[in-house]
Amino acid sequence: MLNRLRNLFERVVIGESVPRLVRWGKAVPRAAIRDLQADAFRVAFRYAATRQKFLARKLQEHGIDPAGVRKPEDLGDIFTTPDDLLRFPVEDFLCRRPQSVFETTGTSGAPKRVYFTYDELEFAGKYEAAALWENGVRPGDRVVCTFDPGYWLSSWVTFLACKRMEVFCSAVGKPTPRDFYPSLALYRYNVIVADPTWLVSLTEIAEKEGTVPVKVIMAAGDRMSNVYRGYVQDVWQAPVILGYGSTEAGGGVGMECRRRDGYHIDEFNFLFEIVNPDDEGYGELVMTTLSRRTQPLIRYRMRDVARFIDEPCPCGAPLRRISSIKGRRDEMVVMGAGNMYPEIFERVLCGVKGVSENWQVAVRQEGLHDILEFRLELSNGCSTGAIEEAVRHSLETRYPDVWANQACGMYKLAFRFLAPGGLEQGRKPKRLVDERRS
Ligand SMILES: [Zn+2]
């Protein structure tokens, strides 16, 4: 019922207008958002339970009567996993005829496929437009988007978002920063949307050869450490706003506001849970799509670890926030030092001079000991002894507990230094790897 009202309101009152969507999104009280979400969950669940073979089979296996399911927890340990998307034919997930397909490659293995209709892509674009609008993008701006193309979805959604706002947009694939650099001035782009690594490379060029006036920079696709964010912001004199999304989500699910303290999540179109939280509330993000009908995902395990930030944001937006992503769940390593996430090493290495942004930490086994090995590419001729000392000092001051476990012999630290380019990493670099025999 609530959702029928919302849909009617969205169609009749908001229509095509992005500013009206933003005003509405900020005016709905938090309690009403929860009610809308709960209602939308029931609608999306009932829809999928009768049309999606995968879900129907799961319900049967677990002896759950769909009529009794009111909220996600009623589904017990029924989830949809990335492995399910790989293992079962797509027909098991499709609920109606699709018009488009995108792929997502994880850190390993075959791509997962997600299907959409044009309407769903336009819809995702509308909500991304709202997030960009809230961060200051307006008609008259010129957006360049350099997300990886191919079977990836994000550049299309950004393009559709700009189309919706009637903002000039070039979604140009992913040229090398060097090839792209002259186009900045040529086309007078003042909004850059890109992945963090590409952005840092472009910024290095601009720092030497000159910047252009930029209003705001949006980065997504991977985590970005505060050091790199700070560097990019300093060079361009513009805020860097981070977004969080995935192909499975159909684009963005969350974006920072100007406060840059956690992602405001799109609670109108997704319901998030955090499962198996630790003492601090960090656990795996689980997402249910509330608005998609071609390939809805009920309780999809995103493999990313984060926590909810429940305090209201000073920006006034009622949408709940999640923390920055601590790491991928499959990157968490349990060892003598404690539960290790890539984020720990991003922080430890932040500010250590003489190493490139291409690094990896491995957990190895030597005899009965866990070894925590830093694999670092040398970037500007600092002595390896000085770098090692700086890393040890940083670990000790930032993570005294992790350090203490080392001091009392629970594990040992090791260092391996490589020439620039010596560390082979794919599109999504694995920052933390577990190489112990299982
Ligand atoms: Zn905010």
- Percent of residues, the chain, with pLDDT higher than 70: 97
**What whole-number distance in Å separates Cα of residue 407 and Cα of residue 402?**
9
Instruction: Quickly count: other Cβ atoms within 10 Å of residue 327's Cβ.
Output: 23
pLDDT on residue 284:
94
Query: Would you place residue 428 in the very low, low, confident or very high pLDDT band (cuts 50, 70, 90)?
Result: low
Predicted local confidence at residue 326, as pLDDT:
84
* pLDDT above 80: residue 330: no
pLDDT 10s digits, 13-22: 888 899 999 9
Centre of ligand 1 to C-alpha 316, Å, is: 6
The pLDDT assigned to 356 comes to 86
Share of the chain above pLDDT 90, in %: 68
- Mean pLDDT for the chain? 91
Q: What is the pLDDT of residues 263-278, one digit of tens each?
A: 999 999 999 999 999 8
Strand order in the sheet with 300-306: 270-275, 283-289, 300-306, 327-328
How far is ligand 1, taken at its centre, from the CA of residue 264, in Å?
A: 6
* Ranges 146-160, 323-337, 341-355: which has the least confidence: 323-337
How far away, in angstroms, is 312 Cα from ligand 1 center? 8
Ligand 1 center–CA 25 separation, angstroms: 12
Q: Which residue has the higher pLDDT, 419 or 429?
A: 419
pLDDT per residue as tens digits for the range 297-320 = 999 999 999 999 999 999 999 999
Express each pLDDT in 333-380 by its tens digit.
Answer: 877 777 788 888 988 998 888 888 889 999 998 877 789 999 999 887
pLDDT digits (tens, 9 = 90+) for 169-212: 999 999 999 999 999 999 999 999 998 888 988 999 999 999 99
Q: Residue 10's pLDDT band (boundaries 50, 70, 90)? A: confident
Between the CA of 212 and the centroid of ligand 1 the distance, in Å, is 28
Q: Ligand 1: distance of its center to the CA of 49 in Å?
A: 35
**Residue 14 contacts residue 22 (beta carbons within 8 Å):** no
| For ion ligand 1, residues whose CB falls within 5 Å | 257, 259, 313, 315, 317
Specify the range with the lowest mean pLDDT, choosing from 32-41, 175-184, 419-428: 419-428
pLDDT-wise least confident of 127-131, 178-182, 285-289, 398-402: 398-402
Ligand 1 centroid–CA 81 distance in Å is: 30
Structure confidence at residue 110 (pLDDT): 76
**Burial group, residue 409, by CB count within 10 angstroms (0-12, 13-18, 19+):** exposed
Q: Which two tokens stand for residue 168?
A: 């000039």
Question: Is a pLDDT exceeding 60 seen at residue 117?
Answer: yes
Given a cut of 80, is residue 423 above it in pLDDT?
yes
